[in-house]
């Protein structure tokens, strides 16, 4: 029986980094987590313990911090491209570099209508993500928004669905629609103003979610993706993972109280899990 090494990779995950960009009148605060993964000619490290082609993961960590001084000044996508180019160009044994970056969102504090120069408040669990892949062919970049919790209390229903003998769900034309979005999109070009496009796409997604007359989460998801593709030619495709955070009407009639479609049980589990990719033909 012959045995051989299959696909393999190694790198450094969760390189957590805070960056202060100091200006004369204010500070800018950034907080990111970086994952580095390398694929390439590492077979002898596995088969005979020869580490001569292994760039230590500690070196990879140090590289992230060192390059952040000069290059983490704009978008995380551009920072990811600088990191991938460094690892790829300086390591002939590497065939694919993958850089994943998650940025935690902070908002500058404001008092009496004036933004504070150096104080921030966290924006919850929402993060801005980027994935950069570089090989001999070129660079591919994708961006995303994760853990975006959004809720609407009107213009949402769920009716006329398939029924069988186990169906107990009641139809409704007026329900709470809540989801914690994971949205990722890729680009038609790697020369993009990533920061500007990220903000515009986020705003577009929120606006469609709020304004759309929803007959199902699937329909709203598709409308959100289609609107982004129609408005932004630089986006190649957009993918969604949207768990349905169920809110179940609580029975107040047992206490002689009319609920009025106002009191719900907010449930974490189990939940509906809906995914889709909207792409150009």
Report the catalytic residues.
12, 57, 246
Measured from the Cβ of residue 74, the count of other Cβ atoms closer than 10 Å reads: 12
Contact 249, 259 (CB under 8 A): yes
Q: Which two tokens stand for residue 98?
A: 């993958």
DSSP string, the chain: ------S--EEEEEEEEEEEEE-SS-EEEEEEEEEEEEEES-HHHHHT---TT---HHHHHHHHHHHHHHHTTS-HHHHHHHHHHHHHHT-TTEEEEEEEEEEEEEEEEEETTEEEEEEEEEEEEEEEEEEEEEESS-EEEEEEEEEEEEEESSSB-B-S----TT--PPPBSS--EEEEEEEEEEES-S---HHHHHHHHHHHHHHHHHH--BS-HHHHHHHHHHHHHHH-TTEEEEEEEEEE--EEEP--GGGT---TT--EEE--SS-EEEEEEEE--
Tokens 């200006």 belong to which residue? 23
């Amino acid at each position: 029986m012959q045995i051989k090494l299959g696909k393999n990779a190694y790198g450094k995950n969760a390189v957590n980094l805070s960056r202060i960009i100091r200006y004369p009148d204010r500070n800018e605060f950034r907080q990111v987590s970086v994952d580095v993964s390398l694929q390439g000619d590492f077979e002898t490290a596995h088969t005979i313990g020869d580490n001569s082609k292994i760039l230590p993961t500690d070196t990879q960590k140090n590289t992230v911090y060192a390059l952040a001084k000069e290059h983490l000044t704009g978008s995380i996508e551009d920072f990811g491209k600088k990191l991938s180019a460094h690892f790829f160009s300086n390591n002939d044994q590497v065939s694919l570099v993958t850089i994943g970056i998650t940025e935690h969102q902070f908002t500058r504090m404001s008092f009496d209508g004036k933004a504070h120069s150096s104080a921030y408040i966290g924006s919850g669990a929402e993060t801005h993500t980027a994935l950069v892949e570089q090989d001999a062919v070129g660079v591919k970049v994708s961006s995303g928004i994760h853990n975006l919790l959004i809720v609407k209390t009107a213009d949402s229903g769920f009716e006329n669905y398939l029924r069988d003998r186990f169906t107990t769900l009641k139809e409704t034309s007026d329900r709470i629609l809540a989801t914690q979005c994971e949205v990722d999109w890729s680009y038609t070009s790697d020369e993009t103003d990533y920061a500007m496009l990220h903000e515009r796409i986020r705003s577009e997604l929120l606006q469609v979610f709020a304004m759309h007359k929803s007959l199902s989460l699937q329909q709203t998801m598709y409308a959100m993706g289609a609107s982004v593709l129609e408005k932004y030619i630089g986006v190649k495709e957009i993918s969604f993972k949207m768990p349905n955070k169920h809110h179940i009407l609580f029975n107040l009639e047992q206490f002689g109280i009319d609920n009025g479609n106002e009191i719900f049980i907010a449930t974490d589990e189990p939940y509906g899990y809906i995914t889709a990719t909207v792409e150009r033909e």
